Structure 1
Amino acid sequence: MNEAWVNIGWANNAVRLDLKKVQGASGLGVMQLRFHVEASCRDEAAAQKPLWFEGGLFAEGLGTSSGYVRRLVVEDSPVTLHSLAATTNFVLVADIDHRQLQVIEEHRTSGMKFRLQLTGTAMTDGNLERIGVGNVECELTQSDWAAVLEQMQYRRLLLIELDAPDAHRSAEYKLALDFYRNAEKQYLKQEWRLTVEALRQSLAALVGKAVDEEDEAADVEAAFKTLRREANKTKIGYSPRAEQVRRALKFMCDLGAHPETAETTKAEAYSTLLMVGGLLHGWQS
């Protein structure tokens, strides 16, 4: 049911709230769900009284992940109905982060269902009084929800979060993580070439080698040919395959080690940082 009624003092059903549409918006590091509501005055008790609404947004139909999402606020307060039968429109806004949307997308099976749990206050004779507001249920079809995600520019940002790995697997692994943390610091300083150089050191340290080993393209090519021959005879698991990924990434990072080569860009430093981070996360010493 996309509507709720507001009780003011002795007047039940004084204001009708009707949810008209739901939109998404993209901001700096956060996204918004925007619920457009039409309020209509159904009793004189509500006329000329400024109304303030707030509440909580709840997601439903997500199994054990259902529940509270975020606080709802009115974009422009207060809401005022100037006469009986008058209508006005306002927007309830909830800020959503990428992790919350990721959880929703992992658990929803079709469309999306929300519940808006609202409370409010009204100004009466110079005093604020609590008013009773019901819940507003909002159900979006799969296509409507896809449109909202598009408006929020979800999936246009590649967001990767990895748990910090255990540094005590081996001495080599600890040193590799130290170099990787240095790469992160260089990235924050916008030192793109030094970021890739630190990643180069991390990949070499991971197997106890010096950074100047495996410099030649022939070394990488020979290692891949050897693994391909072995794969024709027996099953090759993840660990030896991961070693070839390490070799290839090390070869890629070698470009960033030489000042005379083309300048390393932010995109190259960032993508390499992600790839090496993923490799370290799943590395088995």
Structure 2
Amino acid sequence: MGEIWVNMGGTNNAARLELKSVHGTSGLGVMQLRFQFEASCRHDASAQRPMWLEGKVHAVGLGTSSGYLGRLAVESSPVTLHSLAATATFVLVADLDHRQVQIIEEHRTGGVKFNLEVTGTAMTDGNLERIGVGTIECEVNQSNWVAILEQMQYRRLLLIELDAPDSGRSTEFAAALDYYRDAEQQYIKQEWRLTVEALRQTLAALVGKKAEDEDGAADVAAAAKALRKESREVDTGYPPRAEQVRLALKFMCDLGAHPEAAETTKADAYSALLMVGGLLHGWQPAKARIAAQSSAEENEPLRATAARA
């Protein structure tokens, strides 16, 4: 993936640092990029001289959003090459937050490029001295970047600041959540049309229907009209209104109305992903919630009588 050379004292190219792979991991509220290197001793000047490496990492190729991501720190210090031609592996890590990864996702058009500026110090006769290292640019292709996002557990949240709901609510909800996860994966892969199709499946599965059971514009309008009429007579609450949102979103995600692939853009997929995620976050079947509400209203006089007694 690339290499940089270490200069020590008056010796150029005393050691080589070769970038072998890039991985991701997750922690408590933080994600981490892990750049794995192999160091090799190319001159006696670098043998038996412990090195402490550090640096900075930048994201490049993202237009005006390109820039500094964070500090690089070696995971295990120091890195020591014990003899000529000896090798040692080490990892430089950079901590990222969710917003940084989100900005990358909003602006990348394929893979991701990183620029690593590496520097450090080495021990010589009991004294520390700065060593010259250098800069390396590495490109992570799209398939590898998708794998890194998985490793960092990016989008384990349905939306920013919305925890993923419990899939154990019902079999219908579990199926809907699976389709939503697929939509997230398709979005990460920049498959905008497949993202919207998976969301259409999500909205159908939520009420135990198939995606091809389409509701036309007239059906959506009629349902909204009926609910408006009902709301004048009784307190309908949120559940029936949420069902209207589901119907409208499913109508929005009907790809039959958008036959050309180019008609479904990144903005379309992203807005649909956000809206469906918000709907899932607080979803409960309308009938069940209406029944619970009616039961509570029926029992209210009994509770009041008991309280007076």
TM-score, length basis structure 1: 0.59
- Tell me the secondary structure at the aligned position of residue 4 of structure 1: strand
Partner residue of 2:235 out of 178, 202, 219: 219
Unaligned runs of 5+ residues in structure 2 are: 163-229, 245-278, 300-309
Deviation by residue 1:151-185 (Cα, 9 ceiling, x = unmatched): 111111234269xxxxxxxxxxxxxxxxxxxxxxx
Q: Deviations over 1:171-218 (max 9, x none)?
A: xxxxxxxxxxxxxxxxxxxxxxxxxxxxxxxxxxxxxxxxxxx99993
Counterpart position of 1:40: 40
- 1:1-285 mapped onto 2 (5 Å cutoff): 2-160=2-160, 218-220=234-236
CA distance in 2, matches of 1:30, 1:139: 22
Measure, in 2, the Cα distance between the counterparts of 1:217 and 1:5.
78
What do the CA deviations read for 1:100-144 (whole angstroms, capped 9, x no partner)?
000000011110000110111010001111100111211011001
* AA partner of residue 140 (structure 2): L
Q: Per the alignment, in what secondary structure is the counterpart of residue 235 of structure 2?
A: helix
Which structure carries more helix by proportion? 2
CA gap 1:140/1:217 in 2 versus in 1, 3 angstroms:
farther
Counterpart-to-counterpart distance in 1, 2:153 and 2:73: 22
Partner SS for 1:218: coil
SS at match of 1:219: coil
In structure 1, distance between residues paired with 2:57 and 2:13: 22
Aligned length: 186
SS of match in other structure, 2:109: coil
Greater relative CO, 1 or 2 (CA 8 Å, sep 6+): 1
Q: Hey, which bits of structure 1, 4+ residues long, moved more than 4 A?
A: 214-217, 251-255
Distance, in Å, in 2 between the alignment partners of 1:215 and 1:112 is 51
Deviations, residues 1-53 of structure 1 (Å, cap 9, x unaligned):
61100000011000100000011001110011000000000000000000010
What per-residue deviation string (whole Å, max 9, x for no partner) do you get for residues 62-86 of structure 1? 0011010010000000000000000
What SS does the aligned partner of 1:80 have?
A: coil
Relative to structure 1, the CA distance from residue 217 to residue 16 in structure 2 (aligned partners, 3 Å threshold; closer, same or farther) is farther
Identical pairs, percent: 66
Distance in 1, matches of 2:231 and 2:88, equals 69
Alpha-carbon distance in structure 1 between the residues aligned to 2:235 and 2:118: 65
Tell me the secondary structure at the aligned position of residue 102 of structure 1.
Answer: helix
* Secondary structure at the counterpart of residue 102 of structure 2: helix
SS of the residue corresponding to residue 155 of structure 1 reads: coil
